[in-house]
Structure 1
């Protein structure tokens, strides 16, 4: 008697012998249809679950430092290890989903990551917490790259920017809900209990995702790809004009964003602000700007082009970063709003650019983008701690300003390569 695979609950979207489909044979989901609404809601839940799990711990970094007796830079490992292992997993998951399918990969990743998150919340030691957070990131890798590939394959091309914007809106909402929710819950319970509650909510989100997401229509299963074949596919994407620059934009954008928010928590907890964990978490309500900006950026990109939309994001993020140098809490909140809106515009536009530029094997292309994206979070999130210890907040602002300048130049270059 053989044991059934847990993946049997989500059978492959297409059999291995499915022939490649030509563009004329593909059946895309049209904006406004019932299937489009189900996909949008399901992937909104996927984005919500992924990023509430990933970033719920961010406003707790000062609490972790105090509870476990570690430095600010060491406490940042609770986030950086997660995003680092996520970056590695995304590369593997994007490739594996080419042979297995999209839906099952996303569901089991959401479920496993939520369970790891609950385990980390109950961890008795610092090293155990880090181990479970790294495992959480690795398991979670099955969601982001596969979600981008699913959207690129299933949604009609002229609505791709809007659909990607809605997914990124779920990402923004999840990031906000995780950060704000854990802080508000800490006013009623311990940080461990607060993290556990977030994990349970994401188990519910995984169930909703499973019920809503329809089977793939245009997915072509590629069974038995060798490591060399995967490597050739990844290399082919890197050689596609403009693609490496899109990856660079993702690396720098999330690296900047995480560095700013990681060390802002320490700045606001110290004098002269001296804010409580609940109040610091409430600052993440600025993520509402990301929820609004992401779909808007997708619409703007579809109508007027990706270069103007991304440049707006860079300018908003740069102005907001400079505003945080102020000693006024109101100015800092306004600056954070600009940073958040600008970041999610950049990410939404760049995500759509990957689907537009990729020539086949969109799962591989998405995984490369998100590898760069989360590598930026991991490296800059912890590396910023060194600058924080040397030069404080002005050093963080200087680093981010330089990275935004590079994004601006890269965006103009991508536009030139596209002939825009």
Structure 2
């Protein structure tokens, strides 16, 4: 399978995940639900993403990952078509949960395929390209969703997603899939190499990282509405441009990592930057908020792109299992972060919300100090 096709599949798959996010205020108003309930459209999708990838990683170790990816994309297309035709918030929640069951199969298939096909420097390079495609998909999914909602209606973008998913699935040729790794005797044999304290600490730091990121991205429309009186979905979508600018700035991370004693040291200092941006967002200045938001996104992407490759470097488990576990911890943080901080926002406003994220971010920083202590003998990636 050409890498460019896999990256396109990744971009469109992330459309499915993030398209509802800039529309949460709209859903809250249309269905007369609270901000926290509206945020459940993201958390219900991320909840299966938090649990299923490690299971899928075990399953895919013995399966043709490209065939699974092809079938999953067709399933996601069907779910998008159903999503636009329901008139109950309860049914919207169920469909988002079903999408959450399908998405980890696609994500684990893609990361597993990269891990099986490439090694060494090529693995880190192509895994970084994959992470970049997820960033681009997240950005375009949010901005295009908001733009379609403003110019046409929110349902129209879902028709576009469905068509793209079907077209890309037709281009996937499962027969080109590489030979699978030798099967282990039991799931325990696959999971045993994950019992690495440095690896677990890294996974926990990734959990905290995405908890904060998902929380801010999910409730950004409500912050913009309450603090800066920005309500138009198109304007909300434009604010997400900071997300793309941050992603562009993060491309320097591989070069910076090489200048650091280790990947763990690099991630530690980026976590410090992560904490600082959340602190700056407390000031009631729109342009200061946008600047801090852009740097916040940059920090997250730097951590994410480095940690994904670092996990593969530390782990002796099969690629699908290592990356499945990574995705599980990543979206566990996303599932909780897209929902729980909403209660802090409802009861204590923007300041209490940002303080909650800052506390979790500090926990992530501490986890990385544990990784550093356990990997002092690991060379910089």
Q: TM-score, normalised by structure 2?
A: 0.91
Q: CA deviation at 1:272?
A: 4.2
Q: Report the Cα distance in structure 2 between the residues aligned to 1:264 and 1:151, rounded to whole angstroms.
A: 33
1:353 and 1:146, CA in 2 relative to 1: closer, same or farther beyond 3 A? farther
Q: What is the RMSD of the two structures over their aligned residues, measured on CA atoms?
A: 2.3
The answer for the alignment partner of 1:356 in structure 2 is 313
1:237 and 1:255, CA in 2 relative to 1: closer, same or farther beyond 3 A? farther
1:44 and 1:298, CA in 2 relative to 1: closer, same or farther beyond 3 A? farther
Matched, 1:247 2:203: yes
1:201 and 1:298, CA in 2 relative to 1: closer, same or farther beyond 3 A? farther
Q: CA deviation at 1:79?
A: 0.7
Instruction: Identify the range of structure 1 (286-295 vs 243-252) with the bigger mean alpha-carbon deviation.
Output: 286-295
Q: Where does 1:229-378 land on structure 2 (aligned, <5 Å)?
A: 229-234=186-191, 236-270=192-226, 272-293=228-249, 295-301=251-257, 304=260, 305-378=262-335
Q: Report the Cα distance in structure 2 between the residues aligned to 1:206 and 1:246, rounded to whole angstroms.
A: 34
- Give yes or no for contact 1:47–1:168 (8 Å, CA) kept in 2: no
The answer for the alignment partner of 1:32 in structure 2 is none
More contact order relative to length (CA 8 Å, sep ≥ 6) = 2
1:96 and 1:293, CA in 2 relative to 1: closer, same or farther beyond 3 A? farther
Structure 1 residues without counterparts, runs of 5 or longer: 1-34
Corresponding residue to 2:70 among 107, 124, 132: 107
1:399 and 1:195, CA in 2 relative to 1: closer, same or farther beyond 3 A? same
Q: CA deviation at 1:362?
A: 2.0
Q: CA deviation at 1:286?
A: 1.9
* SS in structure 2 of the partner of residue 242 of structure 1: helix
Q: Report the Cα distance in structure 1 between the residues aligned to 2:119 and 2:259, rounded to whole angstroms.
A: 15
Q: CA deviation at 1:247?
A: 1.2
Structure 2 residues without counterparts, runs of 5 or longer: none
Question: Residue deviations 1:148-184, cap 9 Å, x none?
Answer: 2222232231233222111110000000000000111
Tell me the number of residue pairs that the alignment of Structure 1 and Structure 2 aligns: 376
- Give yes or no for contact 2:58–2:190 (8 Å, CA) kept in 1: no
The answer for the alignment partner of 1:150 in structure 2 is 113
- Give yes or no for contact 1:321–1:339 (8 Å, CA) kept in 2: yes
Q: CA deviation at 1:311?
A: 2.9
Q: Report the Cα distance in structure 2 between the residues aligned to 1:105 and 1:347, rounded to whole angstroms.
A: 25
Q: Where does 1:177-196 land on structure 2 (aligned, <5 Å)?
A: 177-196=140-159
- Give yes or no for contact 1:165–1:348 (8 Å, CA) kept in 2: yes
1:353 and 1:390, CA in 2 relative to 1: closer, same or farther beyond 3 A? same
* SS in structure 1 of the partner of residue 340 of structure 2: helix
Instruction: Identify the range of structure 1 (55-64 vs 402-411) with the bigger mean alpha-carbon deviation.
Output: 402-411
Q: Report the Cα distance in structure 2 between the residues aligned to 1:348 and 1:338, rounded to whole angstroms.
A: 15
Q: Report the Cα distance in structure 2 between the residues aligned to 1:202 and 1:327, rounded to whole angstroms.
A: 41
The answer for the alignment partner of 1:165 in structure 2 is 128
- Give yes or no for contact 1:73–1:386 (8 Å, CA) kept in 2: yes
